[in-house]
Structure 1
Amino acid sequence: MARSELSRSLGLWDAVAIGVASMVGAGVFAVWGPAAQSAGSWLLLGLVIASTVAWANATSSAQLAAQYPAAGGTYVYGRERLGEWPGYLAGWSFVIGKTASCAAMALAFAAYVAPEGWQKPVAISVVWVLVGVNSLGVTRTAQAAKVLVTLSLTGIVLAVAFGWFAGPEVGRFAWAQPVGGAYGVLQSAGLLFFAFAGYARIATLGEEVRDPAQTIRRAIVGALTFVLALYAVVGVSLLALLGPEVLASQTAPLLLLVEGNPVLRIILTVGAGAAIAGALLGLLSGIGRTWLAMARERDLPGWFDHTHPVTKVPHRIEVTLGVLLTVILLLVDLRGAIGFSSFGVLLYYFVANVAAHSQDAAHRRYPKAWQVLGAALCFVLVVTLPWQSVLGGLLVLGLGVAWRALRPAALR
């Protein structure tokens, strides 16, 4: 049977738009409250740690993507550099972590746009709408990502500006001890890392971008730099205007910045919905590409090694993912989904840093010290996540190990 192929049709700005769209929804609209619960006013230190981990991971991913421009991201890099088992563990961690991310994004979307009592149906509905968008082809995904990013950034900029110049000032900086000590700061960093993990979506575009060796590296660094600046502005603004106690109690803190202005509230709600939908769009597509790469190697059932003859999209995977998310959304809450997502994604990047560390001088673009720092911090943040997330993550990781070890001989 002929090898399934993806369409190589994306340029640099397409890849940057998909990466930014994958990050912004999670970062601005879903993690500030949980992070403030863990670290209080010291969540900015958690943001610095999370951004350091993200930068180390991004440079490792960019360096690896230049040498291995294929769909699958660290699943492929781990297999090529470290062996089949490390690659499999990276791929499985990515699939389970990003599936949890999709659930978190769908719940956050519903929290902003749906009336009370309708959050679950709306969350499930938006998953299926975006599964349909992804099934139309990757160029449609890139076009949608650009529109959603524009809408979301408009809402964020207007909310922050109004908050500083005319919004309610219900709090001030309160530079006290971290709520949970050093552990609380590290836990907030692990939760905030969830907000950066969208740049992995760019690395999975290896078979869909033009000139992948250059495009993927530039897109990852460019998208992450932009998002780092945005998160710093929003994080400082929320702490300055709301204070850590109010921030910790909010699931939609940006709405407080436009309180009393119904027009800006509508604009922000539309922007939030667009940002979260953009993140979910990129995540759904990224999972599909890694899932496809694993099916090609029979680490997942070979039935999934198939792309549509016209759109060149792994539509069987997209539909299956929609079914799985429907079930998950009926069972989980937002904080649990974020913690579980961070568990899987941090393990994924642990493998990425180790794999990048093993590359030879001809393919090295960044110092090895970055990979050592990235791997060490990934491990530290994993073990300091909420214990429920760690326990659940270990159980699902164990199921993946059992599947690969015990799978039928015909699938090996």
Structure 2
Amino acid sequence: MSEKIGLTESVSLAVGGMVGGGIFAVLGVVAATAGTLAWLAFVASGAIAVCAGYSFIRLNSLIDVQAGPITYVARCTGNTTLAGMTGWTFIIGYVGTMSLYAYAFGGYFVELIGVQSVPGLGLPLRPAVTLAAVAVFVGLNVLGARASGQTEDILVGLKVVILLVFGVGGLYYGYTTGKLTTGTSNLGIGPLIAGAIAFVAFEGWELLAFDQDSIRDPEETVRKAIYISIGFATFLYVIVAVVTTNLVSASVIQQHAETSLAIAARPFLGSAGFLLISVAALFSTGSALNATLFSAARLSKKLVSNDFLPCELTSEGDEPIRPLLVLGGLTAGLSVLGSLNAISSFASLAFITLFGAMSYLAFRQRGDALATIAVPAVGTLGAVATVVALTYHLATTEPHVFGTVVVLVLAVIGVELLYFERDPILAEIQELEEAV
């Protein structure tokens, strides 16, 4: 029991998984789309995330305290192939997001120290820092759940303090200078599209569903942690969005979406604002990488035990050493190759689809209470609308990325079908060989 994590560390893992990608990878794009109504986009996305969280919790209580989403699909549909493909989709999505976090960590580190190449070697420094970050967090997870959870407490605590200083300080500065507005006069389609994009910022809380073997009193702890983490992340997103969109002009946000937070800190924090936000970015991307790796490795271990992944990934003992090493290798490779725009877009669509599917499963298991009907229904419809909006956004504004995402989707589905239908395929090949 002493090696298992409690409520504080569970909330840290969930918040670390969400905020790491949300604040620094999504806010600028959301703000550029919705302007001063970016806060409303995060509220709407947070509401859909709460519906999905409710659905996870309900399925968890109906099926098995320590089951997880893969078991939800298997028991609710009776289709083990669909359950296995769901697990693969989670893994692929996590590899994409971890690669994005690792890439961003290296980029922020290089910008912070102002050095672009390895001294004496002339090699680019960003890939080297990225590889080092992946190696460190793989090592921490190899040490065990306790080491990873305690590290997450530290990283998330420092990150949240910095972002709260930015948010509260920015609100005070904006209020005293008369620069704060609600943006409600700009209602239109922009916030709707931005809400679809902002949904990506709430990927991460579902990590707890895969961590239940490492959590004390998992049924109660996971339920509380999901609601607390989504609520807190929404609050943090809202105040940061309000500050950024009111202190930075729309044209500047569009030109510098990735650094809009640092720019927004300058009016009230001066030159120290850039340093402060850069440090927060390191903590955010680092904690998100750690939290996602922690959970993805445990999911991989469960998939191996159910024959959903190759048996070569089997690890002795409690810690999933081989899955950790494989996931770390894939993450390092993807993050060093360069731009991960298409991969991260695919991962975003994958998670939205998965959340919608869990809400639909919960709706199918509805009871007499109104909440068991209405909440999963809202989550399902919200996810469908989000997929349509995000797909439309990619197709109309980033056609090359859209084409790449389509290719990735088809490739992944093809590989999954080949793995799960390998026995019938091998049987047919053997029949053909015998006939010849």
Q: TM-score, normalised by structure 1?
A: 0.87
Q: Tell me the amino acid that sits aligned with residue 414 of structure 2.
A: L
Q: Is the 8 A contact 1:61 1:74 kept in 2?
A: yes
Q: Is the 8 A contact 1:78 1:87 kept in 2?
A: yes
For residues 13-412 of structure 1, the aligned pairs below 5 Å read 13-66=8-61, 67-70=63-66, 73-83=68-78, 84-115=80-111, 116=116, 117-165=124-172, 182=189, 185-248=191-254, 249-259=256-266, 261-307=270-316, 309=317, 312-333=318-339, 335-359=341-365, 361=367, 366-385=371-390, 386-387=394-395, 388-389=401-402, 390-408=405-423
User: 2-side partners of 1:147 and 1:271: how far apart?
Assistant: 12
SS in 2 for 1:198: coil
In the TM superposition, residue 244 of structure 1 has moved relative to its aligned partner by: 3.0
SS in 1 for 2:216: coil
User: 2-side partners of 1:374 and 1:411: how far apart?
Assistant: 40
Structure 1 equivalent of residue 121 of structure 2: none
User: 2-side partners of 1:191 and 1:332: how far apart?
Assistant: 22
In the TM superposition, residue 175 of structure 1 has moved relative to its aligned partner by: 6.3
Q: Tell me the amino acid that sits aligned with residue 235 of structure 2.
A: A
Q: Is the 8 A contact 1:74 1:349 kept in 2?
A: no
Q: Identify if the C-alpha distance between structure 1 residues 277 and 366 changes in structure 2 by more than 3 Å, giving closer, same or farther.
A: farther
Structure 2 equivalent of residue 3 of structure 1: none
User: 1-side partners of 2:319 and 2:156: how far apart?
Assistant: 23
User: 2-side partners of 1:337 and 1:40: how far apart?
Assistant: 26
Q: Is the 8 A contact 1:65 1:217 kept in 2?
A: no
Q: Identify if the C-alpha distance between structure 1 residues 62 and 365 changes in structure 2 by more than 3 Å, giving closer, same or farther.
A: farther
User: 2-side partners of 1:251 and 1:110: how far apart?
Assistant: 14
Question: Across the two proteins, how many residue pairs are aligned to each other?
Answer: 399
User: 1-side partners of 2:284 and 2:366: how far apart?
Assistant: 39
In the TM superposition, residue 152 of structure 1 has moved relative to its aligned partner by: 0.3
Q: Is the 8 A contact 2:103 2:130 kept in 1?
A: yes
User: 1-side partners of 2:342 and 2:211: how far apart?
Assistant: 28
Q: Is the 8 A contact 1:112 1:272 kept in 2?
A: yes
Q: Is the 8 A contact 1:7 1:207 kept in 2?
A: no
User: 2-side partners of 1:331 and 1:269: how far apart?
Assistant: 23
In the TM superposition, residue 263 of structure 1 has moved relative to its aligned partner by: 4.0
Consecutive unaligned residues in structure 1, runs of 5 or more = 1-5
SS in 1 for 2:259: coil
Counting aligned pairs with the same residue, the percent is 25
Q: Identify if the C-alpha distance between structure 1 residues 111 and 176 changes in structure 2 by more than 3 Å, giving closer, same or farther.
A: farther
**Cα shift readout 1:274-293 (whole Å, capped 9, x = no counterpart):** 12211111111121122222
Q: Is the 8 A contact 1:124 1:326 kept in 2?
A: yes
User: 2-side partners of 1:339 and 1:396: how far apart?
Assistant: 15
Q: Is the 8 A contact 2:46 2:231 kept in 1?
A: no
Consecutive unaligned residues in structure 2, runs of 5 or more = 117-123, 396-400, 428-436
Q: Tell me the amino acid that sits aligned with residue 108 of structure 2.
A: Y
**Cα shift readout 1:370-407 (whole Å, capped 9, x = no counterpart):** 11221222122223322435514522441343233432
Q: Is the 8 A contact 1:343 1:393 kept in 2?
A: no
User: 2-side partners of 1:409 and 1:244: how far apart?
Assistant: 56
**Cα shift readout 1:349-388 (whole Å, capped 9, x = no counterpart):** 12211222233649x8942221122122212222332243
Mean Cα deviation higher: 129-138 or 158-167: 158-167
User: 2-side partners of 1:313 and 1:411: how far apart?
Assistant: 34
Q: Identify if the C-alpha distance between structure 1 residues 379 and 229 changes in structure 2 by more than 3 Å, giving closer, same or farther.
A: same
Q: TM-score, normalised by structure 2?
A: 0.82
Q: Tell me the amino acid that sits aligned with residue 251 of structure 1.
A: E
Q: Identify if the C-alpha distance between structure 1 residues 161 and 42 changes in structure 2 by more than 3 Å, giving closer, same or farther.
A: closer
Q: Identify if the C-alpha distance between structure 1 residues 28 and 132 changes in structure 2 by more than 3 Å, giving closer, same or farther.
A: same
SS in 2 for 1:141: helix
Larger relative helix fraction: 2
Mean Cα deviation higher: 389-398 or 244-253: 389-398
Q: Is the 8 A contact 2:49 2:202 kept in 1?
A: yes
Q: Is the 8 A contact 1:302 1:411 kept in 2?
A: no
SS in 2 for 1:251: helix
Q: Identify if the C-alpha distance between structure 1 residues 93 and 38 changes in structure 2 by more than 3 Å, giving closer, same or farther.
A: farther
SS in 2 for 1:10: coil
User: 1-side partners of 2:10 and 2:16: how far apart?
Assistant: 10
User: 1-side partners of 2:406 and 2:2: how far apart?
Assistant: 39
**Cα shift readout 1:89-119 (whole Å, capped 9, x = no counterpart):** 3212211112111112112222322144533
User: 2-side partners of 1:397 and 1:108: how far apart?
Assistant: 25
Mean Cα deviation higher: 153-162 or 225-234: 153-162
User: 1-side partners of 2:276 and 2:291: how far apart?
Assistant: 22
User: 1-side partners of 2:342 and 2:83: how far apart?
Assistant: 26
